[in-house]
Amino acid sequence: MTVDAGLPLVERRTHGSPDRVPGAYFRAMATLYLRKVSERSRESLARDLSATLGETGIQYHLRTLKRQLSGSITSVPPEVEVAMSKLLLASNGLGMEADIEDALQAAGLVVAPEERLKPYVSREDFLWIVHLWLHFNPCRSVRSLACRLREDLGRDGIRINVESLQHILAGKRALVRREIRDRVLDYLRELGIVGEEKARTISSQLADKIHVSVEGRRFENAERFLKLCRFWQRRHHQASTRKLAIVLREELSKQGLFMAIHHLQELVLGKIRRVRRSILAVMEKIVREETLSAAELEQEFEKISSDLRGQADLRWVLAEPIAAMARQWIERNPGTTRRQLALRLAKIVRRMGFSMSHNTIQPVAGGWKKKTRGFLYRAMLKLLGRYSARIPEEHLVKARWELEAQSDDRMENPRQSILDRRAPILKPSPRWTKPNLSHYLNEAGRCLADSPRPERLLDFIAWRIERFYRISRAKATDLLKAAMCGRLREGDDDLDAESRESTESSAERDGILGDSEEPAA
């Protein structure tokens, strides 16, 4: 079906709308027409329909019309049904649509009301029901509704996966099956909204509130949310993300939104790159209670981004350097104990605006902890008289998700070290070229030799060699240790030939590279 290009822009359309109606009524009218006009055949009727549609700017394919007349295609566009009714009215001298109903009944071609129900409804006629259900279920997600629909529809023999249902509920499909619409209406019945008429009345009465709740479910970039979180943490001297997550949960519960504390902690940490607008609005409200204007708030954001020392106070740092400085201070002050050192550090921490008990500080100073907060590191520096010193970058602890995000960002830049490129598993980037194994090992050896913690990086690089060169993990580890000692030659032909043979044989056996869990770098 095509559109005549010579028609004005308003008339250049396919069949008017993507809607479909059942073809039972259309075929009943066609049967009546062929009975009244005996000299006409089904193909000639299809040609007449095509000509009638062409008058409205629609060039409908003749073969499609013949299949719809025969019943091979069960549904038809509304415009085809209208064109058929025009032909029937003109041939029989009938005046209106009611006359067609009477003529069909007299000829014994009665179409039951349920056979005239549309198998599909438009997106607009369905989304208002979904929005109404989501408004009365603020703690339920679109995916949870999709999972429930999949189970209920599956019992009726309708198989639709969750992803497709999510697209339908999000309004990404122009047409929706009537069974899905009826099922969501049944869910509204559980909330005391019985019948479509009552649902429409409530939807029109709560239109503004429903619009706000739907907009609150949309996602935005988490950049501003993280700025607000860091401002609150600096303002209240709270390095723990759990305290802010608890405050957020209490404010959200006042609005009827109940979220898990661990999910809110992940949002505050920055693990999730998108955040709901409703959560962002609540965070804005919490910060606005500090009685800051918009201009002052932007100035505070700039100060926080430029204050590297303040940012490090909230970060996790290695506890081993603090224990080494504690031993150094005790050697300078004979007769003092770690308990006394912890008491002094607790006072300095309080003067800095933070809070940490001396019972928590003492195990850190004794070397029994692996990590602690950055403000304790800086308090130790102040106790040693190094007031302007900063926390070294290598002493900051980076979480695994931070390392993965950093690797993903480096992948976008082709000009960097081979070891810094995060090579994909299934779909290699067109800009990434696998180097020779000997060259890779020599550069890896230099990287490991310069690393302050080579044992943590060794397993990660060995895993990459196993994936890309099809060498066992144990042998890759031995080669890396040899490379650290400088016993490998640049451009070793034996190694390169072995890696090529193992790669080709593995590729023939597996077809493509398989998935595997990546070790923490």
Q: Is the pLDDT of residue 420 over 50?
A: no
Q: Is the pLDDT of residue 513 over 50?
A: no
pLDDT in tens, 149-183: 999 999 988 899 999 999 999 988 888 888 999 99
* Alpha-helix residue ranges (DSSP H) falling in 333-385: 338-351, 358-365, 374-383
Per-residue pLDDT, averaged over 245-262, amounts to 87
pLDDT in tens, 60-105: 788 888 888 888 888 888 888 888 888 888 876 666 777 788 788 7
Q: Is the pLDDT of residue 40 over 90?
A: no
pTM for the whole structure: 0.55
pLDDT computed for residue 168 by the predictor? 92
Half-sphere exposure of 235 (CA within 13 A, CB side): 17
CA distance 211 to 214: 5
Per-residue pLDDT, averaged over 403-421, amounts to 45
The pairing of beta strand 175-177 with beta strand 120-122? antiparallel
| Percent helix, strand and coil across the chain, each to the nearest 5 | 65, 5, 30
pLDDT in tens, 441-465: 878 887 777 776 677 788 888 888 8
Which of 2-11, 299-308, 419-428, 486-495 is the most confident on average? 299-308
pLDDT computed for residue 8 by the predictor? 39
pLDDT computed for residue 409 by the predictor? 47
* Residue 83: both structure tokens together: 């064109």
Split at pLDDT 50, 70, 90, the class of 404 is: low
pLDDT computed for residue 16 by the predictor? 52
The single residue listed with the structure tokens 């997550």 is: 245
